[in-house]
A and B are shown apart, each in its own frame.
Chain A
Amino acid sequence: GAVVSQHPSWVICKSGTSVKIECRSLDFQATTMFWYRQFPKQSLMLMATSNEGSKATYEQGVEKDKFLINHASLTLSTLTVTSAHPEDSSFYICSAREGGGRETQYFGPGTRLLVL
């Protein structure tokens, strides 16, 4: 299957700082990328949908000014958690959809964020 990478795999930061997470599709061009958040023992919650070259579409309840998404190319999307607080500590996972009629989304390995 297709490969999606995320960087960093984990990050610890102080409250109030910003953290950038990168999501890359390594062997295909991703028409659409998605950002999910997962709290312990809960399922994945979609945060936003990101299309290359256009603004991201955020799910209800997700602050677009706090979670900045940039999808600059067909292989890279970034999520920046601005002014992070302890309640933002979570497992952030991106996925990428190849497009061209292929419906499968491939997930990155996730980024574990801990805000102190």
Chain B
Amino acid sequence: GQNIDQPTEMTATEGAIVQINCTYQTSGFNGLFWYQQHAGEAPTFLSYNVLDGLEEKGRFSSFLSRSKGYSYLLLKELQMKDSASYLCAVKGNSGYALNFGKGTSLLVTP
């Protein structure tokens, strides 16, 4: 089976840095994705990690440790528009479907 855990909610201040953690226990692993979803909208792709280490893309970075079943999404220089839900999703060995965590709702305050 698949078990993907993320914190339910986080709050951070504009301009700050926030780290959103994701732990997973899956029957197979073939990559981990992070998506951003604003309320009432579809998810937007942020990052994809399949090997251990840090992937940096502008203000967003994502880290993966396969041995620990752990990933985090790091958001720097937070902006008000970063207030959204952040979804961690794992692709198993079977097919290409993604299994999503319940998402972390991030609130950025002034």
A residues sitting closer than 8 Å to B (CB atoms) are 1, 32, 34, 42-46, 49, 57, 91, 93, 95, 97, 103-110, 112
Contacts and interface: CB of A to CB of B under 8 A. Distances in A.
B98 A93 contact: no
B95 interface: yes
Contacts, number: 54
Contact of A110 (B33, B42, B48): B42
The secondary structure that dominates the B interface is loop
Contacts of B99: 46
A44 B43 contact: yes
Given A34-B97, A103-B31, A43 B42 contact: no
Contacts of A105: 33, 45, 96, 98
Contacts of A49: 95-97
B91 A44 contact: no
B20 interface: no
